[in-house]
Copies of this chain bind each other. A is one copy, B any other.
């Protein structure tokens, strides 16, 4: 089960940060975490350094680790990059998808329809994630898929917030339909454009995000 202590700690702390249990700016005390998880400081330090490398935590020399608070502007920048990577994944998928990829994408899309029409934004979040991962996989670029998954994970909390905005789930699902169509038609450029627009948070979607961030 637990591969090793450090990985387990890394995941636990990462999840705590993503689920906002450790709020941005919070100080991560080594001994506190160590006692909390019943281990010594060494693996805690190693986990914190990994989170530092990922960019979730800042380690100030001799002054401890704090949870990074990416302001609205930086979140916007991350979505900008994510949009570009997803666009690339979509265009590659349109050119390279196999029969198995088609099946996986359509299945994920069908699940999205289910949770979308049910109006369950939390369930839709998971189905949506599977849908996007299916596209990453269909791109047949292992490196791109890794980058996308990593960024997707970092943006997870903000994506969830977005989906709570009225009608966003329905809109999102409608966009998925067009994306599936473009990919399966092999139209790489259209798939790229649609995915880029689907992911990027332009105009009022950005204001919505800022407003929702401020209110928690």
In angstroms, Cα B42 to Cα A195, docked, is 44
- With a CB–CB cut-off of 8 A, which chain B residues contact A78? 143
Residue among A50, A84, A143 with max Cβ neighbours from chain B (10 Å): A143
- With a CB–CB cut-off of 8 A, which chain B residues contact A147? 81
Measured CB to CB, the closest approach of chain B to A206, in angstroms, equals 14
The contact sample of 19 A-B pairs, CB cut-off 8 A, is: A3-B61, A4-B61, A42-B42, A45-B46, A46-B49, A50-B50, A50-B53, A53-B53, A74-B143, A77-B142, A80-B88, A80-B141, A80-B143, A80-B144, A81-B85, A81-B141, A81-B147, A84-B85, A84-B87
Q: Which 5 A-B pairs have the closest CB atoms?
A: A53-B53, A77-B143, A77-B141, A84-B88, A50-B53
Known: A77-B143, A81-B143. 19 other contacts (CB 8 A): A4-B61, A6-B49, A45-B46, A49-B53, A50-B53, A53-B53, A53-B54, A74-B142, A74-B143, A77-B141, A78-B143, A80-B88, A80-B143, A81-B88, A81-B141, A81-B144, A81-B147, A84-B84, A84-B88
